[in-house]
C-alpha cells in the first residue's frame, strides 16, 4: 500500500516545511508539537537562510513574508577588552558568503511556516509522541495526551533532542557528538536602543552579544563559550544553567554584567551544548528523521536552519517521486542529503573556531579579518569563504528537484 497519512513530530522549521510540501503532493499531514502554542516573539534566536533554503521559501510562496520579517542587521560591532569597537558591514559580509541570504528570528520563521500550512495541515499543540509501534501496514502512535492513532509514516522533525529518534534508534547519547562549546540565548530589554546593529564582546574562548528584535522592541542576549569537556547539569534546572553562565562570564566587563543581571527576570533562557547529531542512517522502516533531529550540525555554527529546510523539501520530493513508496523515497532522501549533511558537520567546528577564538592572538586575528574581508570585492570574499567553508558552501552541491508545480497533484494510490 502506498503511504498517504504522515505524522510529523515538531513544528519548528523542518516540520512545517515538510508538512507544506507533503500536503501539496496529496498526503494527509498531522503535526504534533510539544509546546502549547506558537509564541511568535517569545524566545528564539536569529537564524540564516542561505542559497537553496531561500529558493525553497520562494517556491513555497513565503519569501515576501520572510523578507519582510528579516532582522535587517547592517552592522556588527566587535569589541575586545580595552579596545575601541571595530564595526563590520554585515550586509557586505553576508553578500560575500552567499548571493542569497536572509537572517530572520527563528520564531518569526516558524510562525510564517505555520501560517502557510495551518489551513491544510492538522496541528496538535501541547502533545508529544510517547510510543511508536511499526507493523507491515503502518505505525501505531501513542501520544502523551491525545488518543492513539495509526499513520502510514512518521517523521521526527523534533530537533536536537528528538523523541522520535530516541524511540526509534535509541538514546541520544549514542548519536550526540559534543564539539566543545555551549551557547545561551534569552530575551532582554533593548536598553541600548539598538537598531539594525549587533554588539559583540570577545575574550579568549568566550563571546557575548546583544542584538535587537525588531518585532517586539526587545533584544536578545547571546553567550557562547568554549569548554573542553561537557558540563554536568540537568536540562530542566534553569537556575543551575543561570548559575553556570554567571560563573563563566563573572570576570567580564563591557555590557556583560548588565546582560547577566537580566537573567533573573528572563523566562525564555535557552542553554545547550554545541553538539552535532551523527547517525549512519535516518530511517528505520516507516519512520525517518528531518532537520536537527537527524543531522544537527551544531546550533549556531553549521547553518542548521537551511539544512533543515532543504532536507524537509527533499524528503517530501522523494516521497512524491516514489509515488509514496517510503522504502525508495527514504533511500533517495538519505542519498541526496548525505553529502551536504557531512559538509555542514565538518564546517561547524571551523565556524565555531572563528566565532569563539581560543586565544588573545586569535581574537585579534579574527577582528582584523572581519575588518578587512567586507572591504574586499564580493568575488574575492566568496573565494575566501569557500576555502574556510560556510553553511552556504555546505549546501552548494544541492540540486533542488525540478520545479514541483507540474507534479503538484495528489498521489496515485
Ligand X SMILES: Cc1cc2nc3c(=O)[nH]c(=O)nc-3n(C[C@H](O)[C@H](O)[C@H](O)COP(=O)(O)OP(=O)(O)OC[C@H]3O[C@@H](n4cnc5c(N)ncnc54)[C@H](O)[C@@H]3O)c2cc1C
Which is closer to ligand X, CB of 108 or CB of 292?
292
Q: How far is the CB of 46 from ligand X (least distance, A)?
A: 6
Regarding 12 and contact with ligand X (CB under 6 A), the answer is yes
Answer yes or no: are the C-beta atoms of 301 and 182 closer than 8 Å. Answer: no
Regarding 205 and contact with ligand X (CB under 6 A), the answer is no
Q: How far is the CB of 1 from ligand X (least distance, A)?
A: 26
Q: How far is the CB of 293 from ligand X (least distance, A)?
A: 6
- C-alpha to C-alpha distance for 31 and 60, rounded to whole angstroms: 18
Answer yes or no: are the C-beta atoms of 8 and 30 closer than 8 Å. Answer: yes
- Residue in this structure with the C-alpha cell 528537484, named with its chain if needed: 401
Q: Which of 14, 121, 329, 352 touches ligand X by CB under 6 A? A: 14
Regarding 207 and contact with ligand X (CB under 6 A), the answer is no
On the 0-12 / 13-18 / 19+ scale of CB atoms within 10 A, 17 is buried
- C-alpha to C-alpha distance for 362 and 360, rounded to whole angstroms: 5
Please work out the total of residues on this chain that contact ligand X, with binding judged by CB under 6 A: 34
Q: Which of 3, 7, 8, 10 touches ligand X by CB under 6 A? A: 10
Regarding 308 and contact with ligand X (CB under 6 A), the answer is yes
Regarding 107 and contact with ligand X (CB under 6 A), the answer is no
Q: Which of 6, 15, 21, 274 touches ligand X by CB under 6 A? A: 15
Regarding 300 and contact with ligand X (CB under 6 A), the answer is yes
Residue 128 C-alpha cell reads as 508529544
Regarding 108 and contact with ligand X (CB under 6 A), the answer is no
First-to-last alpha carbon distance for the chain, in angstroms, is 7
List the interface residues with ligand X, window 30-59 (CB under 6 A).
32-35, 45-48
Beta strands in 170-301, from DSSP E residues, in sequence order: 176-189, 197-203, 206-213, 218-226, 270-277, 283-284, 287-289
Task: Give me the phi and psi of 78, to 5 degrees please.
Answer: -110, 120
Regarding 158 and contact with ligand X (CB under 6 A), the answer is yes
Regarding 157 and contact with ligand X (CB under 6 A), the answer is yes
Query: Which helix (H) or strand (E) covers residue 141, if one does?
Result: strand 138-143
- C-alpha to C-alpha distance for 173 and 170, rounded to whole angstroms: 9
Q: How far is the CB of 156 from ligand X (least distance, A)?
A: 9
Which is closer to ligand X, CB of 65 or CB of 128?
128
* CA–CA distances in Å: residue 147 to residues 16, 136, 155, 287: 22, 21, 19, 20
Answer yes or no: are the C-beta atoms of 335 and 327 closer than 8 Å. Answer: no
List the interface residues with ligand X, window 118-147 (CB under 6 A).
128
Which residue's C-beta sits nearest to ligand X? 12
Regarding 291 and contact with ligand X (CB under 6 A), the answer is yes
Which is closer to ligand X, CB of 122 or CB of 325?
122
Query: Which helix (H) or strand (E) covers residue 252, if one does?
Result: none
Q: Which of 108, 152, 255, 292 touches ligand X by CB under 6 A? A: 292
Nearest in space to 352 (alpha carbons), one of 274, 273, 269, 271: 274
Regarding 185 and contact with ligand X (CB under 6 A), the answer is yes
Stretch that binds ligand X, among 90-98, 153-161, 338-346, 398-406 (CB under 6 A): 153-161
| Site of interaction with ligand X (CB under 6 A) | 9-15, 32-35, 45-48, 106, 128, 157-159, 163, 183, 185, 270, 291-293, 299-300, 303-306, 308
Amino acid at each position: 500500500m502506498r503511504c498517504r497519512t504522515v505524522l510529523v513530530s515538531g513544528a519548528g522549521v523542518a516540520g512545517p516545511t515538510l508538512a507544506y510540501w507533503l500536503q501539496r503532493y496529496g498526503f494527509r499531514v498531522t503535526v504534533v508539537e510539544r509546546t502549547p502554542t506558537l509564541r511568535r516573539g517569545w524566545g528564539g534566536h536569529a537564524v540564516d537562510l542561505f542559497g537553496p533554503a531561500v529558493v525553497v521559501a520562494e517556491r513555497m510562496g513565503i519569501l515576501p513574508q520572510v523578507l519582510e520579517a528579516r532582522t535587517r542587521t547592517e552592522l556588527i560591532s566587535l569589541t575586545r577588552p580595552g579596545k575601541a569597537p571595530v564595526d563590520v558591514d554585515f550586509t557586505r559580509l553576508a553578500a560575500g558568503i552567499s548571493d542569497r541570504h536572509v537572517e530572520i528570528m527563528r520564531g518569526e520563521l516558524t510562525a510564517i511556516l505555520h501560517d502557510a500550512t495551518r489551513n491544510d495541515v492538522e496541528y496538535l499543540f501541547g502533545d508529544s509522541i510517547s510510543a511508536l509501534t511499526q507493523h507491515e501496514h503502518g505505525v501505531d502512535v501513542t501520544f502523551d495526551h491525545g488518543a492513539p492513532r495509526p499513520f502510514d509514516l512518521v517523521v521526527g522533525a523534533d530537533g536536537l533532542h528528538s523523541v522520535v529518534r530516541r524511540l526509534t534508534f535509541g538514546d541520544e547519547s549514542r548519536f550526540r557528538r559534543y564539539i566543545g562549546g555551549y551557547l545561551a540565548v534569552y530575551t532582554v530589554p533593548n536598553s541600548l536602543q539598538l537598531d539594525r546593529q549587533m554588539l559583540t564582546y570577545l575574550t579568549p574562548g568566550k563571546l557575548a552579544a546583544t542584538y535587537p528584535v525588531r518585532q517586539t522592541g526587545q533584544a536578545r542576549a547571546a553567550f557562547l563559550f568554549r569548554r573542553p569537556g561537557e558540563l554536568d547539569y540537568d536540562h530542566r534546572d534553569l537556575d543551575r544553567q543561570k548559575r553556570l553562565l554567571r560563573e563563566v562570564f563573572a570576570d567580564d566587563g563591557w555590557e556583560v554584567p548588565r546582560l547577566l543581571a537580566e537573567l533573573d527576570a528572563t523566562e525564555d533562557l535557552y542553554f545547550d551544548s554545541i553538539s552535532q547529531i551523527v547517525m549512519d542512517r535516518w530511517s528505520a522502516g516507516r519512520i525517518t528523521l528531518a532537520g536537527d533531529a537527524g543531522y544537527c550540525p551544531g546550533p549556531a555554527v553549521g547553518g542548521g536552519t537551511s539544512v533543515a529546510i532543504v532536507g524537509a523539501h527533499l524528503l517530501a520530493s522523494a516521497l512524491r517521486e516514489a509515488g509514496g513508496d517510503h522504502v525508495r523515497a527514504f533511500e533517495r532522501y538519505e542519498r541526496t542529503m548525505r553529502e551536504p549533511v557531512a559538509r555542514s558537520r565538518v564546517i561547524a567546528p571551523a565556524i565555531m573556531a572563528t566565532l569563539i577564538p581560543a586565544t588573545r592572538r586569535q581574537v585579534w586575528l579574527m577582528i582584523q579579518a572581519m575588518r578587512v574581508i567586507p572591504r574586499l570585492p564580493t568575488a574575492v570574499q566568496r573565494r575566501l569563504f569557500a576555502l574556510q567553508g560556510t553553511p552556504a558552501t555546505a549546501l552548494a552541491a544541492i540540486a533542488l528537484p525540478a520545479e514541483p508545480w507540474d507534479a503538484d497533484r495528489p498521489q496515485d494510490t
